[in-house]
């Protein structure tokens, strides 16, 4: 049974009398522990799909099944409880945190909300989470704006794994990081996946990263699936026009270094 | 740079802070310096200022010590100004946050109520409220709040409308935080700076409204107020103008001090926000 099954998902926006279809009849599934990549140019509906899967946006049509349940039927407290299993990491690690927060508070929230650890136990759990993502435990009292971008994205990942999720949506999670930090974060994500069997819905416009991380890829164009299949096969020999355009736009250097590895 | 140091470098802000400090000092030492009832008769009636050094600001028509009244009046002005501003900011930011964050019908309802309060001139609202319920300090504060909470509510709502689209609000939802906790713990504290920037305007307006109500005889009759003193002096404006001028000057300096200090704080924090 698939972990996540999305069927015929559709989302339309009304903009000044005109109806824009951001996501048009999209279907896909994710198996436990695997990485599915969603790639496409800006405005192709990648982030809308992330919002829909996370129930941050409500779809106009379609079905989402998560862990065997109709995810769209969940409401209120039941939905909030189930969110523990489905987490997300955003592109901009600074915007994703309350500007007043400290590292400890960011990690305390999910533990408290889902009753994972008692108040007395939480500082220890927070330290363990920080160490799990490769940060020093004494980072906890620091303010979010005081730490570096790479550290922030590690804190975001720590927050995402705090509730023991089975699926994490990574919305351009490494796109804002510089190249050396990007590699470390990708390594951390791969390590977490192999240890905890977390599935990723990896959203990116960077086909080099997609090729390195994902087994399957879906290429989106204007809200529709243009092409899908094995990540290496699709990226090495794209069949759709948008696929060829994306591959042509990817920096050459990155592709050759990854081919060499 | 240290915001306190930047504050101290702005001459207007320092002038405002000094005026405010003087007002607060007056309010605090009033019961020590002038124990007993400030409305008790202290000397001959209508003694002009600077004649008798035990009564440096003279006496009013009934022979009450103007200086004692002035100091005790500072207590009333300060209490009313601060209480009204605190209540208006609290109510306004809660209403604005709920409206902006909930959206839809809740937003529509709360904002129409806000409109209704805003269309009635706030002084008229206060006047009507006090004359119906009766004058006492608490009622006067409530009457002023009725007309002033709408400004903070609108500003808070506008701020919340932009904040609720931020990623960290989406993050809070994604980790399963309750909507009320998101509204009051994640959104409201970040919407506060522009709302708090209004506090000096509200304090100043509240002090003036309280004085105006007292001038019309709708202040708390058991307390000395500057507005009441001006009203008292009005009957003898030609023969003893100082009775109206002295509390009038105090009122002007208070409002000026609140404005200047408030502006200074807004200015220094605005620069700090811009830099970060």
**What value of ipTM does the predicted structure carry?**
0.86
Buried b (16+ CB within 10 A) or exposed e, B177-215: beeeebbbbbbbebbbeebbbbbbbbbbbbbbbbbbbbb
Least Cα separation, residue B62 to chain A (angstroms) = 57
> Mean pLDDT across the stretch B182-193?
92
Position B275 confidence tier, pLDDT thresholds 50, 70, 90: very low
Q: Residue B1: pLDDT band by 50, 70, 90 thresholds?
A: low
Instruction: Give A48's Cβ-side CA count (13 Å radius).
Output: 26
CB neighbours of B70 closer than 8 A, spacing ≥ 6?
A: B26, B57, B226, B229, B246, B247, B250
Q: Please answer yes or no on whether A87 and B175 come within 8 Å at the CB atom.
A: yes
A98:B175 CB<8 A = no
Tokens, residue B208 = 């003036």
Report the pLDDT value the prediction gives residue B220, as an integer from 0 to 100.
86
Which of A79, A80, A95 is opposite residue B167, by nearest beta carbon?
A: A95
The pLDDT tens digits of the residues spanning B45-61 come to 778 888 877 888 888 88
Instruction: Say which CATH number the domain at A118 has.
Output: 3.40.50.300
d(C-alpha B97, C-alpha B192), whole Å? 10
How far is B96 from B163, CA to CA, in rounded Å?
13
- Nearest residue of chain B to residue A75 (CA atoms): B176
DSSP E strand stretches across A32-155: 35-39, 61-66, 69-70, 86-89
Q: How many Cβ atoms are within 10 Å of A168's Cβ, its own excluded? A: 22
Per-residue confidence (pLDDT) for residue A251, from 0 to 100:
67
For A204, the domain range is 4-260
Please, what is the average pLDDT of chain B?
89
Tokens describing residue B71? 């100091």
Choice among A29-43, B63-77, B259-273 with the minimum mean pLDDT: B259-273
Is A67 in CB contact (< 8 Å) with chain B?
Answer: no
Identify whether the C-beta of residue A170 lies closer than 8 Å to the C-beta of residue A39. no
Instruction: Name the residue ranges covered by the structural domains of chain B.
Output: 3-43+59-275
The pLDDT of residue B110 is above 50: yes
Give the pLDDT confidence score for residue A259 in this predicted structure: 52
Split into its structural domains, chain A has a count of 1
Listed in sequence order, the residues at least 6 apart from A131 whose beta carbon sits closer than 8 Å to its beta carbon are: A137
Answer yes or no: do B174 and A92 touch at CB < 8 A: no
Neighbouring residues of B248: CB distance < 8 A, sequence distance ≥ 6? B226, B230
**A169: enclosing H helix or E strand:** strand A167-171
Q: Which helix (H) or strand (E) holds A14?
A: strand A4-15
Q: Which residues of B touch A171 (CB under 8 A)?
A: none
Residue B273 pLDDT > 80 = no
pLDDT for res A261: 44
Asked if the C-beta of A114 comes within 8 angstroms of chain B's C-beta atoms, the answer is yes
Q: Which helix (H) or strand (E) holds B45?
A: none
Averaged pLDDT for residues B209-219: 90
CA distance readout (Å), B130 to B87, B208, B218, B226, B250: 17, 15, 7, 18, 24
* Strands A167-171 and A86-89, bridge-based pairing: parallel
Taking the C-alpha atoms of residue A44 and residue B40, their distance in angstroms, rounded to an integer, is 80
Q: Which chain B residues in 102-161 lie under 8 Å from chain A, judged by CB atoms?
A: none
Query: How far is the C-alpha of B219 from the C-alpha of B79, rounded, in Å?
Result: 13
* Contact status of B168 with chain A (Cβ, < 8 Å): yes
CATH architecture of B3-43+59-275: Orthogonal Bundle (1.10)
Residue A209, both tokens: 């990263």
Considering CB atoms only, which of B167, B172, B174 is closest to A87? B174
Rounded to an integer, the average pLDDT of B33-54 is 82
How far is the CA of A108 from the CAs of A122, A140, A166, B177, in angstroms? 7, 10, 20, 12
| Element of type H or E holding A7 | strand A4-15
Cβ–Cβ of A95/B170 closer than 8 Å? Answer: no
pLDDT string in tens for chain A (261-residue length): 789 999 999 999 988 888 889 999 999 999 999 999 999 888 888 989 999 999 999 999 999 999 999 999 999 999 999 999 999 999 888 899 998 899 999 999 999 999 999 999 999 999 999 999 999 999 999 999 899 989 999 999 999 999 999 999 999 888 888 888 888 999 999 999 999 999 999 999 888 888 888 999 999 998 899 999 998 888 888 888 888 888 888 765 444 445 544
Mean pLDDT, range B123-148, rounded to an integer:
93
Instruction: Give B270's pLDDT tier (boundaries 50, 70, 90).
Output: low
């Amino acid at each position: 049974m698939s972990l996540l099954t999305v069927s015929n998902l559709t989302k339309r926006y009304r903009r000044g009398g005109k109806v824009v279809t951001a996501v048009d009849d999209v279907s896909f599934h994710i198996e436990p522990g695997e990485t599915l990549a969603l790639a496409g140019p800006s405005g192709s509906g990648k982030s809308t799909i992330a919002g829909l899967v996370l129930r941050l946006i409500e779809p106009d049509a379609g079905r989402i099944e998560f862990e065997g349940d109709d995810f769209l039927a969940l409401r209120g407290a039941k939905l909030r409880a189930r969110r523990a299993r489905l987490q997300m990491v955003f592109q901009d690690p600074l915007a994703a945190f309350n500007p007043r927060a400290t590292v400890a508070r960011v990690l305390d929230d999910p533990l408290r909300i889902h009753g994972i650890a008692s108040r007395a136990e939480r500082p220890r759990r927070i330290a363990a989470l920080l160490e799990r993502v490769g940060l020093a435990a004494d980072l906890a009292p620091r303010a979010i704006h005081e730490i570096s971008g790479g550290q922030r994205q590690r804190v975001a990942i720590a927050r995402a794994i705090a509730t023991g999720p089975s699926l994490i949506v990574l919305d351009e999670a490494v796109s804002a990081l510089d190249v050396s930090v990007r590699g470390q974060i990708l390594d951390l994500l791969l390590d977490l996946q192999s240890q905890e069997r977390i599935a990723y819905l990896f959203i990116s416009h960077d086909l080099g990263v997609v090729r390195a991380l994902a087994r399957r890829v879906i290429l989106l164009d204007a809200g529709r699936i243009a092409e899908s299949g094995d990540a290496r096969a699709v990226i090495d020999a794209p069949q759709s026009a948008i696929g060829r355009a994306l591959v042509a736009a990817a920096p050459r250097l990155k592709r050759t270094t990854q081919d060499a590895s | 740079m240290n915001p306190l140091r930047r504050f101290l470098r702005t001459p207007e802000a320092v002038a405002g802070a000094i005026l405010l400090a003087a007002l607060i000092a007056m309010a605090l030492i009033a019961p020590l310096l002038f124990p007993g009832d400030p409305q008790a008769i202290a000397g001959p009636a209508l003694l002009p200022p600077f004649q008798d050094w035990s009564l440096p600001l003279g006496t009013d028509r009934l022979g009450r010590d103007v200086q004692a009244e002035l100091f005790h009046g500072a207590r009333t002005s300060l209490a009313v100004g601060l209480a009204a501003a605190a209540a208006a900011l609290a109510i306004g930011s809660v209403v604005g946050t709920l409206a902006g964050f909930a959206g839809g019908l809740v937003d529509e309802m709360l904002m129409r109520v806000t409109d209704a309060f805003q269309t009635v001139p706030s002084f008229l609202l206060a006047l009507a409220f006090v004359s119906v319920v009766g004058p006492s300090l608490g009622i006067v504060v409530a009457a002023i709040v009725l007309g002033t909470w709408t400004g903070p509510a609108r500003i808070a709502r506008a701020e919340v409308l932009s904040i609720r689209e931020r990623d960290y609000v989406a993050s809070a939802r994604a980790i399963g935080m309750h909507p009320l906790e998101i509204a009051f713990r994640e959104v409201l504290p970040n919407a506060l700076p522009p709302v708090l920037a209004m506090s000096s305007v509200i304090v100043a307006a509240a002090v003036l409204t309280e004085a105006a109500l007292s001038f019309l005889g709708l202040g708390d009759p058991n307390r000395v107020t500057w507005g009441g003193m001006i009203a008292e002096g009005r009957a003898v404006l030609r023969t003893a103008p100082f009775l109206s001028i002295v509390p009038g000057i105090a009122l002007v300096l208070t409002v000026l001090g609140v404005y200047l200090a408030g502006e200074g704080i807004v200015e220094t924090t605005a620069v700090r926000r811009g830099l970060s």
